[in-house]
């Protein structure tokens, strides 16, 4: 199954909370998921000034690890309407991966968090897309796949660009159940697209293997089937030529000779067949 890396930056854990539900959605479709955070760039002093809690207990990713994943889900809290410098700093180190085309053809999605409803949910996702374009990564938006995106009865983060939450300026609002439902939907849909793509790739690879095997070892073909001997048919019996019957010889009128009689000639007895000889004869016509 494909592997998805969820890569986040989360100062007050709102993005981290949404990430856990995106992960649930992905895992529901059988993909392998690993959750990472990008390295912090702010000093401890600044973090203290910002009242930042301890970081989520997940590994910090290195740029080379990106090559191990089939896809990425980026979790990004907005900073002045764009994605945070921590992620930019991380991705700006991906030049070698870009030069080798290592990330080309992989997939990515985005989810986000803002302090207010109109603080930049869509622009935050939008500004990250230039990285996907330059690396040749396929961006997969959420669309309006979850009906909660049509619900205007309460504040609900998220958009066609992905799941989202609204944290309030002081961070007091936590992701709502509807926002987390959208997050799971996004995870599931993303995984379905990824699975479909990978099954197609596997199919093509297995077909290529079969072709390569066939090319290496020519398949023994059966002896060509000889055309069946045509059944001998007896020559049609030629209708017998009707026997030529001789024209009856016209009997010549004996020349009448006056006054001349001649005794009929007697066949000599010796030339007549003997009776005994006739008996032994196999001729039944006698």
Ligand X SMILES: Cc1cc2nc3c(=O)[nH]c(=O)nc-3n(C[C@H](O)[C@H](O)[C@H](O)COP(=O)(O)O)c2cc1C
Residues numbered 54-93 forming contacts with ligand X, rule: CB under 6 A: 77-81
Q: Which of residues 225-284 bind ligand X (CB under 6 A)?
A: none
Residue nearest to ligand X (CB): 119
Q: Which two tokens stand for residue 217?
A: 């070892």
Among 37, 94, 114, 186, binds ligand X (CB under 6 A): 114
Q: Which is nearer to ligand X, 176 or 195 (CB)?
A: 176
* 8 Å CB contact between 28 and 191: yes
Q: Which is nearer to ligand X, 19 or 108 (CB)?
A: 19
Whose CA is closest to 274, among 259, 266, 286, 260? Answer: 286
| 42 scored as a contact of ligand X (CB under 6 A) | no
Beta-carbon contacts of residue 46 (< 8 Å; ≥ 6 apart):
none
Measured CA to CA, the distance from residue 35 to residue 106 in angstroms comes to 17
Counting contacts by CB under 6 A, is residue 174 touching ligand X? no
DSSP letter string, 75-102:
EEE-BTTB--HHHHHHHTT-HHHHHTTT
CB neighbours of residue 59 within 10 Å: 10
Pick one of 2, 25, 109, 120: the residue that binds ligand X (CB under 6 A).
120
For ligand X, the binding residues in 2-41 under the rule CB under 6 A are 10-15
CB of 113 to ligand X, least distance (A): 3
Is 127 an interacting residue with respect to ligand X (CB under 6 A)?
Answer: no
Residue 7 in 3-state DSSP? Answer: strand
Residue that is written with structure tokens 């085309």 in the block: 101
Per-residue x/- track, 132-171, ligand X (CB under 6 A)? -----------------------------------x---x
Residue with tokens 């959605």, as numbered in its chain: 25
- In the bound state with ligand X, the residue whose beta carbon lies nearer, of 107 and 161, is 161
Binding stretches for ligand X (CB under 6 A): 10-15, 77-81, 113-116, 119-120, 167, 171
């Amino acid at each position: 199954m494909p592997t998805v890396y969820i890569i986040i930056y989360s100062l007050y854990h709102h993005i981290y909370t949404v990430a856990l539900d995106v992960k649930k959605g992905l895992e529901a479709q059988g993909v392998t998921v690993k959750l990472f955070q990008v390295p912090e760039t702010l000093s401890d002093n600044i973090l203290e000034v910002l009242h930042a809690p301890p970081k989520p207990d997940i590994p910090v990713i290195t740029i080379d690890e990106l090559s191990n994943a089939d896809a990425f889900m980026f979790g990004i809290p907005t900073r002045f309407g764009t994605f945070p410098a921590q992620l930019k700093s991380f991705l700006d180190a991906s030049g070698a991966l870009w030069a080798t085309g290592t990330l080309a053809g992989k997939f990515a999605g985005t989810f986000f968090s803002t302090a207010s409803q109109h603080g930049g949910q869509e622009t935050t996702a939008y500004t990250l897309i230039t990285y996907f374009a330059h690396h040749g990564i396929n961006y997969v938006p959420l669309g309006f796949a979850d009906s909660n995106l049509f619900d205007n009865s309460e504040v609900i983060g998220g958009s066609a660009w992905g799941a989202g939450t609204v944290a309030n300026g002081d961070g007091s609002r936590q992701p709502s159940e509807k926002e987390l439902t959208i997050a799971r939907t996004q995870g599931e849909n993303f995984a379905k697209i990824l699975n479909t793509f990978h099954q197609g790739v596997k199919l093509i690879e297995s077909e290529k293997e079969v072709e390569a095997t066939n090319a290496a070892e020519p398949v023994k073909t059966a002896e060509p089937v000889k055309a069946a001997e045509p059944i001998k048919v007896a020559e049609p019996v030629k209708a017998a030529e009707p026997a030529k019957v001789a024209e009856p010889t016209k009997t010549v009128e004996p020349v009448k000779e006056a006054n001349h009689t001649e005794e009929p000639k007697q066949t000599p007895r010796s030339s007549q067949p003997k009776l005994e000889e006739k008996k032994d004869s196999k001729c039944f016509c006698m």
